[in-house]
Amino acid sequence: MMAGLLSTQYNSALSKLNLLRNNPALSVLTSTQRQYSSKDGAGIEYLHKSVVPTMHYQKSLPRLPVPKLEDTIRRYLAAQRPLLNDEQYSNTEKVTRDFQSGAGKQLHDELVALDKNNKHTSYISAPWFDMYLSARESVVLNFNPFMSFNPDPKPEYNDQLVRATNMVCSAVRFMKTLRAGLLEPEVFHLNPAKSDTDRFKRLIRWVPPSISWFGAYMVNAYPLDMSQYFRLFNSTRIPKYKCDELLTDDKGHHLLVIRRGNLYVFDILDRDGNLIKPAEVHAHLKYILTDPTEAPSFPLGVLTSENRDTWAGLRQKLLDAGNGEALQLVDTALFCLCLDEEVMRDHIHISHNMLHGDGCNRWYDKSFSIILAKDGQAAINFEHSWGDGVAVLRFQNEVFKDTTEKPLVGPGSQPASVDSASAVRRLGFKLDEELKAGITKAKENFHAAVSKLTIDAMEFKKGGKEQLKKKKLSPDAIAQLAFQMGFLRQYGQTVATYESCSTAAFKHGRTETIRPASVHTKRCAKAFVQQPGQHTVEQLQGLLSECSKYHGQLTKEAAMGQGFDRHLFAMRYLANSKGMALPSLYQDPAYAAINHNILSTSTLTSPAVSLGGFAPVVPDGFGVGYGVHDEWIGCNVSSYPARNVHEFLKCVYKSLEDIFTVLDGKPIH
């Protein structure tokens, strides 16, 4: 009976969740649907004390469904159609149908059987970890994204030392709240008036965890997977030959701080595991900020930007040279705080600094780093293998709320009179000539890579979410359509496009792909860009509506685990792990092309976040971070020399202008 309730009621309920998507921004939905509670009496140790235990819903979360093979084939062919000419499509259709009746059927059946035997997790979890950890490219640009904090509304609290102290204290309070099981569970509320209430919380806490999800479902609330959260703290990615490992050691009581490429540690928790006095944190950070030690000629952090096999070899040499204890302190630190020397000039400078920086004042392998520029501009840069940003954004929202509403130190605060010189330890490393040469080479490789990256941003102020909703159009669909129109205007073609969608509504869900390039967007973009005079305003409005409906359907399917990308990926992974000959579908040039994502996109809107960004995932691509706000639309886009990002943003701006002109009932020229 329970399984029946799950499959019918859950799917029908989730169909309302048109918004439940987008990595890394999923948990922003929850922050707009409910206030994170910060109850009085939580004391200095905790952010709040949730009535419902943090992991209360985890046990009863529904499992990520393995889609039906015929649905995956249909969705895959629909996504291929706008990217191929008739001859190419005909060939791909044949290869795909052969797969469906042959190797695909066998792999699908095996995947379903495997999934049934592993009910504690999802079918995508292990292959996805393996994909990230086996990748040998540098994590910088290729994987680590950033999300920058909005400034503190009180300007005097943006002082680097004050803000760093407050952020560190709030981060530790978050960690303590999480580990005590007192952090509010992550829940998507469709009817907050019913489910985000003290009355409901007092009731649901008595429902056993094995069925608690259903209790939330009854009031239209959808708990989200929180299995990634434990990797936030005391965690790092360890480079190993061929496949890296994730390390989490929650016994570490210390913080890692990097300034001028020098690495420092000090205990942020006392012997009992409690946060040391904020005035002491203040004193220790002040000591580090005023330390006259010069930048090292051979900064160790830059090694974390290297090719993973190269870094694995050099790490082994570091261990052999007697640096094991220092490396262990880095690896097991609660998290990393990077104190930068530069003042940020503008948004573009912030993006470059927070995405990659100078390579020397970072430890890119830590699960996350809080970066603070000289002027108090702050951001989080995070390693991507352990999680998809759901946990990071929740953490960021909570830290921003706590530091701005209840800061523990202020501009007038005096640091404690403590002996920071003995409490703070600057780590020293024994380096032989081979290690020094490795660091020098890593610096060269780093600068060669980041020098090719261009970032530009755009703000469209002539309309946003409010106007689009009035016209019954999906704001996300219109933003994605503008990217399709912009690319068509600039390059005259429709290309593989990726929009990330969280599947955190399921146990151990990761992400699914929305494929925004469709026959609908292609038809609409062509009408707007290449044939503006050949359609009436009403016809163009009709095309916009079609695109919106179809994109809404794709979004809903992806959020429900009903895309095609992860299913095809898991079957390919299974074939590889069995040593099977690779089925012809995976050797089809069209399969390679649809996975060569020239437009890689991810959306983000949050009260805590100013902007987010990442590099393109292919050399001839764009990395498109965007947000549709109530009255405006913003984009933060990156590219390599093969593409012109400035021109692309002009074309996207023009596309948005045309769309809003048509929505106003006026013709375009």
Q: Which residues are catalytic?
A: 384
Cα gap 481→494, rounded to integer Å: 11
Closest CA to 30 of 296, 391, 342: 391
SS (H, E, C) 206-230: CCCCCCHHHHHHHCCEEECCCCCHH
SS3 337: strand
Closest CA to 638 of 653, 663, 618, 664: 618
Question: What are 286's two structure tokens?
Answer: 């002040």
SS3 393: helix
- Cβ neighbors of 501 (< 8 A, separation 6 or more) are 21, 22, 23, 511, 512, 513, 514, 555, 558, 559, 563
Q: 182-218 burial, b if ≥16 CB within 10 A, otherwise e?
A: bbbbbbbbbebeebbeeebbeebeebeeeebbbbbbe
Q: Which residue in this structure is represented by tokens 């699908």?
A: 108
Residue 579 has a CB neighbour count (10 Å cut-off) of 6
Cα gap 542→617, rounded to integer Å: 33
CB 92 within 8 A of CB 77: yes
Cα gap 216→648, rounded to integer Å: 44
Strand partners, 454: 639
In terms of DSSP H, where are the helices of 519-603?
A: 519-529, 537-559, 565-577, 584-587, 589-594
Cα gap 209→405, rounded to integer Å: 33
Residue 505, judged by CB atoms within 10 A of its CB (0-12, 13-18, 19+), counts as buried
